[in-house]
Chain A
Amino acid sequence: MTTRGKIVIGLLLVIGLYFGINKVVSSGAVFKKADTQSVLLNSIELPTTASNGNRANIAVPLADLPGTTPAEKGTPITWEVMAWNSQMAGMLANGGPRTTQGSAMAANGVDLQIMRQDDVTKMQADLVKNAADLDANPSTPGLIVSIMGDGLPGFSAVQEQLKKVGTQLQIIPYSVGKSFGEDKLMGPKEWLDNPKLAVGKTIACYLRDGDQNIALKWCADNGLKVNPDETTYDPEAVNFLSASDFLVAAEKYIVGKPEQRTKVVNGKNTGVKIDVVADAVATWTPGDVNIAKQKGGLVSIVSTKDYSNQMPNIMVTTKRWYDAHQKEVAGLMTAFAVAGDQVKSHPEALKRAADISADVYADKDKNGAYWLKYYKGVSEADRTGEVVELGGSKAFNFADNLALFGLEEGGTNIYASVYKTFGDVQSKLYPKELPSYVPLDQMLDLSLLKNMQAQYKGKAVAPADQQKFAADDEIRRNVSKRAWNIEFNTGQSSFTPAAERELSQLFDDLIVAGNLKVAVHGHTDNVGDPQKNQQLSEDRAMAVREWLQQKSTSAFPEGRVQVYAHGATEPVESNATPPAKPRTAG
């Protein structure tokens, strides 16, 4: 055969093979990926904090600021952190990237080295390595890593690997702070008034993490379906455009290039190819800053300022190290508590903490002033003149921690709610990636915090941040509207058992959104005397408020829940349905 003949036959073979395989693969003769249906999530619940207000409000005097020379004594520990402003108290406690003389950390016998690590997978690997090193040599410095509280269920996948080296994850029962505005969903302004406009649109974000959780919660609160599959497009749901990190997510919107995917309807592949672009972004500082400065056009739809308990900074380590170093852990917590008070009450201390942050995060273009500015949060005009809120974090003190872990009188373990809520959401949406997650009680032991609580009793500790809701403060902006079908016994304002279950759900839901005011609108059906109905609808709305306030006085202080009665003027359905509408106090 001539070479030419060979080439012709070869080409024919190749072309035949290519199209043949293509046909077979797309026909579904081979195993297909399991269809993913879009999901309407049950409401996602987040707890709220507020202290019960009976703690005396004592100001903490300004302590001496830490020195700058490394102390070089104490038990060595490594702390890996992302560049995240919630760590201000930790920064001040340490005095520098490594514990300095005169710092709270040095006073508590700890020599802490803070390292920046933005890659979560690397953190997980480091933990496993640290566990193995500790096994071989117990004097190895322990490793603690800080992650987003709502991201811990996903992070807990490392448990399998840790078990192989004979230990498991353990949470330090103390949080240095939280995100308070900097993590957000940014979208077109119209979404604020009409969330339904987000249906069939696409949100760019780093999937299966805190930023996406904000978007998921907002969708759930507004009754919008979400499509968990990042390779398909569902016109009847909110879709996600997956980015490799939170800055790339912002970049996807800024660059605005389309990506092709398959259209699905009711979970069935239609075979139609469709181009999607990023219509909105879930990201955090400086992703939001980049969007505002480089393109603009998006406003903050909802943020961790509204869902104020979603993202505490949670530190995890290995049980192996934790059990052997109770004294050091207590020292660490004490140092954080002392510094937390300082950072919260004294601008000088906060400024110093920001300078230390700049040292630790080591971005040449971001000095202490940058971190300070975005810690406080700012409103700036973007490129299109829209005003956007950027940044925002909060440092915690000891009292905040008691509130977070539910050790106050009548308190609920807020973090436990957050953990379970987002763990369930993620494993419901992504059963393949996260088939299960580690139950919190296997990782969290509050005894050290309880010991400190007993030790500090009656001592001057600055009070926890308290949400203040002025009763006459009008709701200016809706974050979400949802009708809750809470059934009453006919003609009365008492609940049916089914309604009790609904209320529990509503309660959990309002816990995460700790910063939002709630408006309860009571309705009745249009049967019977209008005046009686008016009274009844008011009684019913009041009953909902009562119920919430009784269940947690700390989460529902006076003034958070407002009551409106509509009687039979706007019957929602033939049966009584008071829609509970959480809204911001603005």
Chain B
Amino acid sequence: MKNLFIPNAQPRQPVFLTMVACQALVLLVLWLLYPLKLFPTLGEVLTAFQDLVRTQGLIQELWASLATAIQAVGIATVLALFISYLTALPFFRPLAYAATKLRYLTLTGLTFFMALMLSSGHQVKLSVLVFGATVYFVTGMTSVILTTTQEEMDHARTLGMSEWRSFFEVIVLGKLDDMLEVVRQNFAIIWTMITLVETLYQSEGGIGLLLYKQNRYLHLAGVVSIQLVILAVGALQDYLFVLLRRVFFPYSELTTAR
């Protein structure tokens, strides 16, 4: 118990989890007892949530969005890894550099050109998400590659590996766990953009469209409950990524402070 207030302490897991649960409970009780003037009350949010699930297909819309998000992340990951690994060759470095700088582009106006180039609304949706995620992934992945130390490379070379082999062992295989971490950290970009693209192409529905409609009519309780659902999904996603990392790269936490 007193562990909780000692610097750098690592309390036992059950203790820590109980503490987190208590903190969340306090927050909920505060929300219940002291409602803010313009913020919906807990009761209103729960009622809205029920209605959204029962009659407005929240679960289906969530799945529709999630499926699109997973598709986009899959494509973006492959694309970003490809661009990042190409930086092994100096010729392709400007490409990766340019890709990282495209983060600063705003999507306004770009969607129009994409619509002209592509053949359907769904493709535009996917392309916007893939584009948005890729530039962030490339940024993260190239910086992971840049953390490669001289020592690591020399180690591979002294083992008699060719330059390509060294690159493969040290950077491709050796940094996979960090790459996974980059994808995890930047997955959130997809969620911020998905609501935007679903507003642009509303035929396929999605949780973004649901949110847009709630907001349009100032059903703030509905807005808050959808946001909370997105938060919960995000938290679950993060947890899954951590799990994946533990299963596939058990060594990645060896150096973490305990």
Binding site for B on A (CB under 8 A): 3, 6-7, 10, 18, 21-22, 25-26, 30-34, 121, 124, 128, 132, 154, 157-158, 160-161, 164-165, 208, 230-231, 241-244, 248, 251, 255, 257-261, 275-276, 432-434
For the complex, what is the distance from the CA of A132 to the CA of B70, rounded to whole Å? Answer: 43
For the complex, what is the distance from the CA of A161 to the CA of B218, rounded to whole Å? Answer: 8
7 A-B pairs closest in CB distance: A33-B57, A259-B203, A259-B121, A242-B202, A261-B203, A231-B205, A157-B217
In this complex, what residue of A is CB-closest to B214? A433
Give chain A nearest CB distance to B63 CB in angstroms. Answer: 5
Q: Is B54 an interface residue (CB 8 A)?
A: yes
Which residues of the partner chain B approach A165 to less than 8 Å between Cβ atoms?
37-38
Instruction: Find out whether the CB atom of A257 lies under 8 angstroms from the CB atom of B204.
Output: no
- Given A6-B247, A164-B38, A251-B112 in contact, is the A121-B122 Cβ separation under 8 Å? no
Which residues of the partner chain A approach B201 to less than 8 Å between Cβ atoms?
259
Which residues of the partner chain B approach A261 to less than 8 Å between Cβ atoms?
203-204
Interface size on B, residues (CB 8 A): 41
Q: Is B242 an interface residue (CB 8 A)?
A: no
In this complex, what residue of B is CB-closest to A233? B203
Q: Is B59 an interface residue (CB 8 A)?
A: yes
Give chain A nearest CB distance to B134 CB in angstroms. Answer: 21
Instruction: Find out whether the CB atom of A259 lies under 8 angstroms from the CB atom of B120.
Output: yes
Selected contact of A31 from candidates B54, B200, B217, CB within 8 Å:
B54
For the complex, what is the distance from the CA of A18 to the CA of B56, rounded to whole Å? Answer: 22
Instruction: Find out whether the CB atom of A230 lies under 8 angstroms from the CB atom of B202.
Output: yes
Q: Is B244 an interface residue (CB 8 A)?
A: yes
Which residues of the partner chain A approach B116 to less than 8 Å between Cβ atoms?
255
Q: Is B213 an interface residue (CB 8 A)?
A: yes
Instruction: Find out whether the CB atom of A25 lies under 8 angstroms from the CB atom of B63.
Output: yes
- Given A258-B121, A259-B121 in contact, is the A34-B55 Cβ separation under 8 Å? yes
Selected contact of B203 from candidates A128, A208, A241, A248, CB within 8 Å:
A241
Most buried by A among B115, B124, B200, B203: B203
- Given A231-B204, A261-B204 in contact, is the A32-B60 Cβ separation under 8 Å? yes
Instruction: Find out whether the CB atom of B63 lies under 8 angstroms from the CB atom of A244.
Output: no
Give chain A nearest CB distance to B125 CB in angstroms. Answer: 9
- Given A165-B37, A259-B204 in contact, is the A31-B57 Cβ separation under 8 Å? yes
Selected contact of A7 from candidates B61, B122, B203, B248, CB within 8 Å:
B248
Instruction: Find out whether the CB atom of A30 lies under 8 angstroms from the CB atom of B60.
Output: yes
Selected contact of A121 from candidates B70, B115, B124, B216, CB within 8 Å:
B216
Which residues of the partner chain B approach A30 to less than 8 Å between Cβ atoms?
59-60
Instruction: Find out whether the CB atom of B204 lies under 8 angstroms from the CB atom of A22.
Output: no
Which residues of the partner chain A approach B69 to less than 8 Å between Cβ atoms?
none
Instruction: Find out whether the CB atom of B203 lies under 8 angstroms from the CB atom of A33.
Output: no
Instruction: Find out whether the CB atom of B218 lies under 8 angstroms from the CB atom of A231.
Output: no
Give chain A nearest CB distance to B241 CB in angstroms. Answer: 13
For the complex, what is the distance from the CA of A25 to the CA of B118, rounded to whole Å? Answer: 29
For the complex, what is the distance from the CA of A31 to the CA of B215, rounded to whole Å? Answer: 22
Selected contact of B200 from candidates A25, A26, A248, CB within 8 Å:
A248
Instruction: Find out whether the CB atom of A244 lies under 8 angstroms from the CB atom of B199.
Output: yes
7 contacting pairs across A/B (C-beta < 8 A)? A132-B37, A160-B218, A161-B38, A241-B203, A257-B118, A257-B121, A432-B56
Give chain B nearest CB distance to A6 CB in angstroms. Answer: 6
B180-229: which residues lie under 8 A (CB-CB) from chain A? 199-205, 209, 213, 215-220
Give chain A nearest CB distance to B49 CB in angstroms. Answer: 12
Instruction: Find out whether the CB atom of B204 lies under 8 angstroms from the CB atom of A31.
Output: no
Which residues of the partner chain B approach A33 to less than 8 Å between Cβ atoms?
55-57, 60-61
For the complex, what is the distance from the CA of A255 to the CA of B209, rounded to whole Å? Answer: 21
Q: Is B28 an interface residue (CB 8 A)?
A: no
Most buried by A among B38, B202, B215, B220: B202
Q: Given contact pairs A161-B218, A241-B203, A259-B203, enumerate 20 new A-B contacts (beta carbons under 8 Å).
A: A22-B67, A25-B59, A25-B60, A31-B53, A31-B57, A33-B61, A34-B56, A124-B218, A128-B38, A154-B217, A161-B38, A164-B38, A248-B200, A251-B112, A251-B115, A257-B119, A257-B120, A257-B121, A260-B121, A260-B122
Instruction: Find out whether the CB atom of A260 lies under 8 angstroms from the CB atom of B204.
Output: yes
For the complex, what is the distance from the CA of A165 to the CA of B37, rounded to whole Å? Answer: 7
Which residues of the partner chain A approach B118 to less than 8 Å between Cβ atoms?
257
Which residues of the partner chain A approach B59 to less than 8 Å between Cβ atoms?
25, 30-31
